[in-house]
Amino acid sequence: METKIFTRATVADAAALIQAGELVAFPTETVYGLGADATNVSAVEKVYKAKGRPSDNPLIVTVADRETVSRFATITPEAAKLMDAFWPGSLTIILPIKPGALSMKVTGGLQTAAFRNPQNEATLDLIRTAGTPIVGPSANLSGKPSPTTAQHVLHDMDGRIAGILDDGPCEVGVESTVIDMSTDVPAILRPGAVDETMLEPIIGPVSSDKHKVGAKETPKAPGMKYKHYAPEAQVVIVDKPADFPAAIAWAQTTSQTFGILATDGLLAQYGQDIEEYSLGADITTATRDLFAGLRYFDLHPQVSLVLAEGFPTDGLGSAYMNRIEKSAGGQHFSSKSEH
Ligand code: TXA
Ligand code: MG
């Protein structure tokens, strides 16, 4: 199949493909998604096939307005407050669904579903023109970093999907915050740009699995079910800028070709003669450019080790560290331990 590229000017053609049960990748402010008519079971099945995604991993339902959510789920007053505050935007809300309202292919057999109202105007136009909500997992092959440009999508999905709606690079760069509003205490299941200090003033205490975000997780074996954002090279997180000289000295002893994924200040100090990818100026640009950086090193297979800058886990840092932890399989540089 030929994968066609669409733009804002040709949204109607992309919408016709969605209506015909085909797959069209779409831009959002977080990452690119893989769109299919959420009410068409065979279209949804194609999404799992194109991504190589395990069928028990449920999909987000992407909507252009909150009225569409109420077709499938009851919007509680607390959920409505979140929609008032953060929609359209980078917050995905899990709600109990009306029995039978959505296919098990979408929900993975759960009695809940995840709903998201993204910011991108071309995508909102696509959903309105198609006249149906679209499922929207990230448009990468399962296990690879999420795509933040149409080129990333094409790299993974060329020939596997009918089209890509290209609206330039994503601004946030990591996937939306996922909050479960179906439990007694709301729970953050995935950190994103909307963090708990923004959520708690609106809905009170939320739980979040902090140890998964910041701490030194046990390295996960490649190929495990939960492998995520995994580049070909081994990523090792360097938590503090001051540890970079020791980390570089260690990397030089490994006889591997290594690269550095870090912000400009660090690269200016330590990046000479080393394969590098710039994460820009600060945590905002680092989060935006993280997945592009991981994909960059995949295109340079001689690099088998990547030293990646760590950040404190407040604000956007919790989303950044959550993703880099997974791509590193929990590996951190420590000047005291052997690697
Ligand atoms: O920013 C985003 O959310 C992007 C853009 C394209 O919208 N989409 C995205 O989708 O990241 P995906 O499928 O890659 O991640 C959705 C996450 C998955 O980890 C999935 O397991 C979880 O949300 N999820 C979906 N429905 C759920 C449910 N009913 N209960 C618990 N987790 C759910
Ligand atoms: Mg994903």
- Indicate which CATH number applies to the domain containing 286: 3.40.50.11030
Interior CA angle at 118 toward 146 and 178, to 5°?
65
- The domain that holds 203 is classified in CATH as 3.90.870.10
Count how many Cα atoms sit within 13 Å of the Cα of residue 102 in the half-sphere of its side chain: 34
> Which residues of the chain are modeled with pLDDT < 50?
211-225, 338-339
Ligand 1 pocket by Cβ (under 6 Å) = 28, 30-31, 33, 57-60, 92, 94, 107, 110, 112-114, 116, 118, 136-138, 175-176, 178, 189
What is the chain's alpha carbon radius of gyration, rounded to the nearest angstrom? 20
* 3-class DSSP assignment, residue 207: strand
Among 168, 191, 208, the domain boundary falls at 208
**Do β-strands 207-208 and 187-190 pair in parallel, antiparallel, or remain unpaired?**
parallel
Is there a single domain that holds both residue 177 and residue 305?
Answer: no
> Residue 336 has what pLDDT?
61
Residue 219 resides in a domain: no
The total domain count for the chain is 2
CA–CA dist 253, 52 (Å, integer): 37
Tell whether 106 is covered by a domain: yes
- Predicted confidence at residue 271, as pLDDT, reads 78
Instruction: Among 86, 175, 179, 180, name the best residue to mutate to test ligand 1's pocket (greatest count of ligand atoms within 8 A of Cβ).
Output: 175
**d(Cα 200, Cα 127) in Å, to the nearest integer?**
31
What pLDDT does residue 222 have?
A: 30
Same domain for 200 and 256? no
Its sign, for the CA torsion 150, 151, 153, 159, is: positive
Residue type, 325: E
Provide the pLDDT for residue 216. 39
Residues 47 and 194 in one domain: yes
pTM: 0.94
Same domain membership, residue 110 and residue 201: yes
Residue 55: per-residue pLDDT: 83
21 and 94 together in one domain: yes
Indicate whether 335 belongs to any domain: no
Note whether 195 and 248 are same-domain residues. Answer: no
How much is the pLDDT for 273? Answer: 87
Ligand nearest to the CA of 134: 1
Q: Answer yes or no: do 186 and 290 share one domain.
A: no
What's the domain range around 264?
A: 234-328
Please check whether residues 245 and 319 belong to one and the same domain: yes
Which atom of ligand 1 is nearest to 57's Cα? Answer: 21
Q: Does 111 reside within a domain?
A: yes
Amino acid, res. 141: L
Residue 44 lies in a domain: yes
> Alpha carbon 337 to chain centroid distance?
31
Cα of 74 to ligand 1 centre, how many Å?
19
**Residues 245 and 161 both lie in one domain:** no
